Chain A
Amino acid sequence: MSWLPCGLYHEHYREDHAWWQTTFVKGKMLLLAIFAIVILPYLDLVAPDLGPYLLNIAVILLYTILAASGVQLLIGYCGQVTLGHAAYVAIGAYTCCLVLMHGPALAAMTNDPNPIVRTLAALFSLLMKAGLLYPAGIILAGLAAGLWCVIFGLPSAKVKGFYLIMTTIAGQWITVEFFITQYVSQIGGRQQAFTVLPEHFTIGPFTIDSDRKIYYLGLALVGLVVAVTANLLRSKPGRAWIAIRDNDIAAEAMGVNIVAYKLLAFFVAGAMGGLAGVYWLNFNYIISPEHFQWFWSLWWVGVILIGGVGSIQGTIFGSMFMVLVMEGLKALIVPLSGAFPELLDKFLFIKEALFGLAIALFLIYEPNGLAYRWWQLKNYFNLWPFSY
């Protein structure tokens, strides 16, 4: 074990397969973990104004990372461009919402004549007694979103590139504008928006109702998604995905079942989107089809383009960039709005214009994204100051 890569000598292959190989990197990750787990959520004890504000931004950031992870997996690693990821996020959010809203009612139907309903009712009442209705909702949301994503990934068996983009856009409209708006939102005969009370978000003894707890849940979900992605990429499925992205003919000649692995990628990406949807529900307590507009699908593609396509860090950097720049923009425009009130009216347009500008500038000046810059910086300091 050495501090820096230049003194690194492995004696086992297992060491070379590890995520973090030097003490320096491990220390860095430990500091990051301490900051994320201890310092940031308890910052309000020292700074009562700044703390909650930063925590709110962090929650938005975690949501963006969750949603963009699936997009990164599909576009960055499997090479299947998706422009409809908001649909899978929506499916996840609505699945979890329906479980939370109608789970108790279903659990009460223990005397239903239909045996399937009775079994389900028994299962749900067990889950409710154990306080596991929300975790079950999370898992169901992931599965439902993953399977939904596979349906719209099916055309990838036959089409590539632009044509696949068209089918994923179709997935967006069919899911959100048609299926959810016209049918799912009508369940229960209420208005379009579904609300869930904070006390329903219980995992065992914990109720996820305060900002801090919501933040921790997001941290756990992001940790899960990042760890799963990183592990998949150093084993069989991830390598098959990258192979399909780089050269599908050679991948098939080397024994990769292309269709199966593409669909697997769609499933995993959709499931990640589903988790993002659950998280959105948890910190808003309300969902409506307007929350899952096509713009968000584009937004997440923008996140990975800016952060770096084909890099886990890229997802995180891109999300940070987008969220922080938009916050900075708000901070800039609010003081100016006294002099130019129309700035506030047109904030949405300014935001979208800047989003487009940022993507254009990144594609021109740094097509490899922020993650590449970060990599360059690290490489420079690896051998600094004697880099030759």
Chain B
Amino acid sequence: MEGKKWRLGVPRALFYYYYGSWWKAFFEDLGLEVLVSPPTSKEILDMGVSLAVVEACLPVKVYYGHAAWLSERVDALFVPRLVSVERKSFICPKLMGLPDMLRTALKPCPKIIDSTINLSRNPQKGLETAVRSVARTLGFSGSKVLKAKEKAEKCYKAWLAKQREDKLTAGTTENPINIGIVGHGYLLYDRYLGMDIPHKVQKLGSRVYLPENLTDDEVEEACRVLPKRLYWTLGQKTMGAVLNFMERDDIDGIIHLTAFGCGPDSMVGELAERYARRCGKPFLLLNLDEHTGEAGLNTRLEAFVDMLTRRCSA
């Protein structure tokens, strides 16, 4: 299909919050028109909730909503089968089956580009295979693809560095407390789904630290105390951030943001909470689902911040 100008839909959900810049730069360099769905809204959430099976977790339901929004507006949907993005680690079973799940749910369903991305054996080679496979489906090959890949990687690295420096640490009060907020990127950075909790906490007058502010080495280092290697990429990131924040004296409390029905988080969160309790660091677990009310959430956050402030000034 060389020469055809594809209109490619990329849902703004799940791993868009990690690799969105990579994908966008890659496809645009190949000369495709990329349509990213708008930020999550009530309409999109409701669409997703009505399409997905009830037991799926909230972020997956939201993904369904974004895909449904795009399905009538594009030639093809980009839903990669993300098996693994690093050595010997997985994402989550639901992401391994996502393209098939969407095919069943979306009627009519546009063409889905579902190249498998599996870097668990050999990251370099795995990535190359995945990129080639995506490009082949779109009708591209050869040096053009390699050039686009290089450009995408450059864009991605720049974005990553910016995200690392992007700290919400400007305190709004005289003696701000420091709170570490951990959770998956698609909850922390999706302002509707995750209720914009990092900014909310900042507005309550505290400095906020996020997992993305840590380097990979810091996360790896913190995870060494675990009894067994965590084989979920995001679980490892969450756990590493919790352990890092726990050890630091400058962090006063930790908030763990999770979505109802998240499998890995049910284990990682439990361990994190137990470790935090043992070392006496205040720990708040916020579990979001489609019924979570904003008022109730605000009250919990205020109470937590108040408690930390009193604890620190005492």
A in complex with B: no
Residues of A bordering B, CB below 8 Å: none
